[in-house]
Structure 1
Amino acid sequence: MTLKMNSTKIIRAFALCIFSVSIFLFLADATLNYSQWLPSRDLRKFFNMTREDSLSNWISSIIQVSLACIAFLNAFVVSKLNLPRWKVWAWIGVGALFFQLALDDGTKLHERMGSGLQSLFPWYPSFAWQISFGVVYGTAGLAMFIFLLQEFRSRNLFKFVWISILLIVISQGMDFCEGLDDLFYVPAGAMLHMDPGDLLHFSKTTEEMLELWGFMFMGVALLKYFFLQIGKFKNLQEEVIA
């Protein structure tokens, strides 16, 4: 009972922290940066959610590292439960994927590579990195999806993964539209009687916020699984002692 109560508090705190931070980042961008409440241009950059060197991007990387750590913890606990060895390696793979995503975000890897690849795909209407990195991350994400479906389906946890993936897919769809710019935001701005620049900026900040929410739901699923496995491990230890 104590483990269940503590785990519930930890999971709620984890989710509330990410949700609160995402709202703060969105509002800070809208006020301190975009509305120029801060007089310093350099300080405004710090709160600009659309920049890769912003506070938002740093926090996103930290969250992804935390997801990687939870996945690695799951691998460790699973290894102690005498479950099939491939599940341990699968969890290590999940952790490695999130760690790579964090590394990508922190180093602007896909943006840098995308700039170099743009000339190779002149026909592609959006960002070139979506072709190369999209295939790699998409394949890895599909493998993770299949594994988590198998692991979570019987534990009523997969709904969190569904929500996470839905939010991330929506955010990536918005990212694709951002690359279209003149083809999308100019006519959309005219239709909504908004400045295309305003529309583009807040589309990007909304995209970043949805991505953080996607990570939040994924983290909830991973943490719930972790505490379930910890409970099984404790029961196993008690049986051995008895």
Structure 2
Amino acid sequence: MPYCISCGDAFTGPGSLCVFHNPTAFSKTQMDTYNKYDNNNLPLIKYRTSGQGSRHKPHKHREYENFNYYDQSIEQTFDQFHDTNDLSLAPYYHNHTNDHQHSPSHLNHAAQTFTRLTSQHAINSLTLTSTPAGLKTISVIPNKDREQCPVCRKWFPDAERLRMHRWEYSSGCEVHGICFGREEEAFHASKCRHDRCFVKGCPSLYRKEGGWKGSVVEGHVKEWHQ
């Protein structure tokens, strides 16, 4: 069985080219019929090549997958300067000079501030208002009930959440700002160096006075608090 010297596929028949690369195998009508009924790809785009001057540029069709989107218009599909995330009603034209007002980077600072305040539970809600002229205003309602853990310095929405946190992590180290359970006190003493006992409520001298060696504090924690 011979192989095509152009594509390497095996074929039957005379010659050294398969039917896809042998121009004398089929006529143009037969080849168009084959492409029409047996090919599942998109139809081929044909360009005019005759009667064109040196300055003539043939029209190139848009790709098929760029059309027929129900959630956007044709102008939005092919407009590279259109900002779909812009909340203002003022359209963005190609020759628009006020790029800062209609750019998504204009809201980056507000988004970062909102993320930081939300993670610290400093606000209850944030409202962004946009006018048709492109003016944006932000109104914030603060959270006056938030509480902060004195050990890990983490913020919680209210006192109840803080009590749940202290119940789950009943011990911790104020020097390193870590909260953990009682079962992890010996591990933390061996992992980090301390000059005094870090266990809150310890009545020993190792807690009241500092300047101890790390090995002494580690031995104290493993002996007293394990």
Q: Shared fold (TM-score greater than 0.5)?
A: no
TM-score range relative to shorter protein = under 0.3
* TM-score when normalising by structure 1: 0.18
User: 1 or 2 for the larger relative contact order (CA 8 Å, sep ≥6)?
Assistant: 1
Whichever of the two has the greater Rg, that structure is 2
More helix by share: 1
* TM-score when normalising by structure 2: 0.19
